[in-house]
């Protein structure tokens, strides 16, 4: 099976490429933003028509909520029109499409995990642009999988760039920083390796549709930070904060825990806990995390 992965330099794409190549020996073509701008319809058409993949996995997106809030046109160009462009050419070539989405399509006002069938109601541009991308895929292509997730961590970026929350916390300790983390925002920390394995399994089925995929359990960002330091065996100058202390441009969700009902219906809701995932990720980082 030939698989095209967009946004190939990101955390999830890196895990997907490794798992698909190592475990299933698939033919994987990974393209970063410099090689494929999914917001450019002509480029998307020419590239997908040339590669002729069986499956396209779209991980390309503008993910930073504050950036999206400040540049809504660009956010919708990439996060909404990008998936539309991919879905249109996939419909022409007979390719299947995996569209990765986010827990930010919800409003964060719930008191229990969001199910796939719950009404979306984004409160920021990031969530709205990703929801629009979902709509375009759903209305354009029958053979699609839409994957909502959140709180991603994975990969060991040795360039010094803190590309996820775990790395940012460890980098803060290394630099001797005082770390202030919110106690009133709750989500599902999710290891890209576990998410990638589930996506790799899903694309070998014809169970098309919408899925919530996360590690099991939930946590506030503050408790997640505490777990990082305890598991890594490092001391940190960590203090509590609340959402009201933030001056960010985009509104943040108070609660973004996802229920995995669609996976349960396939008898496939077997992802490990986020605590187990964190332990394995820190093992993956190895001695680097202590440098």
Is position 191 annotated as part of the catalytic site?
Answer: no
Beta strand segments in 142-283, E:
144-149, 152-153, 178-182, 186-187, 190-191, 209-212, 219-220, 237-241
pLDDT band at 156 (very low <50, low <70, confident <90, very high): low
pLDDT band at 152 (very low <50, low <70, confident <90, very high): very high
Catalytic one among 126, 145, 211, 281? 126
Cβ pair 198, 213 in contact under 8 A: yes
Domains of the chain: 2-220+247-290 (3.40.50.720)
Q: Which two tokens stand for residue 261?
A: 């009902």
pTM for this one? 0.95
Taking only the tens place, the pLDDT of each residue in 204-252 is: 999 999 999 999 999 999 999 999 999 999 999 999 999 998 878 899 9
Give residue 24's pLDDT: 62
**pLDDT average, residue stretch 21-32:** 84
**pLDDT average, residue stretch 65-82:** 97
Residue 190, beta-bridge partner list: 152
Give residue 263's pLDDT: 98
């Amino acid at each position: 099976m030939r698989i095209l992965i967009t946004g190939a330099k990101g955390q999830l794409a890196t895990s997907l490429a490794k798992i698909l190549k190592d475990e299933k020996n698939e033919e994987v073509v990974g393209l970063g933003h410099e090689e494929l701008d999914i917001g450019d319809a002509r480029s998307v058409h020419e590239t997908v028509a040339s590669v002729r993949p069986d499956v396209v996995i779209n991980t390309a997106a503008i993910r930073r909520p504050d950036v999206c809030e400040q540049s809504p046109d660009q956010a919708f160009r990439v996060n909404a029109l990008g998936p539309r462009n991919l879905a249109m050419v996939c419909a022409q070539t007979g390719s299947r499409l995996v569209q990765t989405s986010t827990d930010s399509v919800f409003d964060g006002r719930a008191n229990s995990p969001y199910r796939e069938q719950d009404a979306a109601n984004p409160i920021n541009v990031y969530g709205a642009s990703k929801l629009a991308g979902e709509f375009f895929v759903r209305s354009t292509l029958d053979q699609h999988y839409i994957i909502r997730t959140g709180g991603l961590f994975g990969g060991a970026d040795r360039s010094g760039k803190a590309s996820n929350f775990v790395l940012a916390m460890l980098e803060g300790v290394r630099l001797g920083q005082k770390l202030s983390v919110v106690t009133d925002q709750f989500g599902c920390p999710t290891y890209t390796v576990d998410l990638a394995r589930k996506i790799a399994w899903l694309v070998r089925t014809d169970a098309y549709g919408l899925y919530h995929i996360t590690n099991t359990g939930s946590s506030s960002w503050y408790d997640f930070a505490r777990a990082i330091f305890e598991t890594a065996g490092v001391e940190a100058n960590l203090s509590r904060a609340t959402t009201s202390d933030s001056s960010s441009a985009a509104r943040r969700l108070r609660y973004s825990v996802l229920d995995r009902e669609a996976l349960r219906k396939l008898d496939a809701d077997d992802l490990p806990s986020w605590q187990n995932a964190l332990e394995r990720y820190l093992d993956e980082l190895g001695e680097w995390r202590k440098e």
